Amino acid sequence: MLWIKALHIVFIAAWFAGLFYLPRIFVNLAQVPANSQAERDRLLMMADKLLRFTTMLAVPALVFGLWLWLGYGIGKGPGNAWMHAKLTVVLLVLGYHHACGVLLRKFHRGENQRSHVWYRWFNELPVLLLLTAVVLVVVKPF
């Protein structure tokens, strides 16, 4: 079980690292001048690869988490409301991951309507989600 926990943590950490950096690429894409096609193409390629990589990391992270939850019963039973809160945060992170994919497709189509400042704020959301998840798992306030 400790190996599964360790792998879960490693995959989650790597997944979040990608989710921290992908919106930063969006900030750069929003600042690319219209006449700089090579720069835009390079940033889009980087974003595509990073989104694919974070998706590949998310799958085992979720599988190991489900294994711990369903297989070992971690977070089940009375006094484990923290697990329900954590699962809510996980759903929010999955939604954020999906939103990144939607935004990237808009960049590919040239339909970006947002400023680099908006993407800077969007970039802060996974930090808040990660802090919430860590508090729920380590402190278990419920």
Binding residues for heme: 8, 86
DSSP string of 4-68?
HHHHHHHHHHHHHHHHHHHHHHHHHHHHS-TT-HHHHHHHHHHHHHHHHHHHHHHHHHHHHHHII
Burial class for 26, CB neighbours closer than 10 Å (0-12, 13-18, 19+)? buried
Q: Which residues are annotated as a binding site?
A: 8, 86
Residue 23 · residue 114 · CB < 8 Å = no
User: Cβ(50)–Cβ(39) under 8 Å?
Assistant: no
- Residue 87 identity (one-letter amino acid): L
For the CA atoms of 17, 20, 15, 7, the dihedral, rounded to the nearest 10 degrees, stands at 40
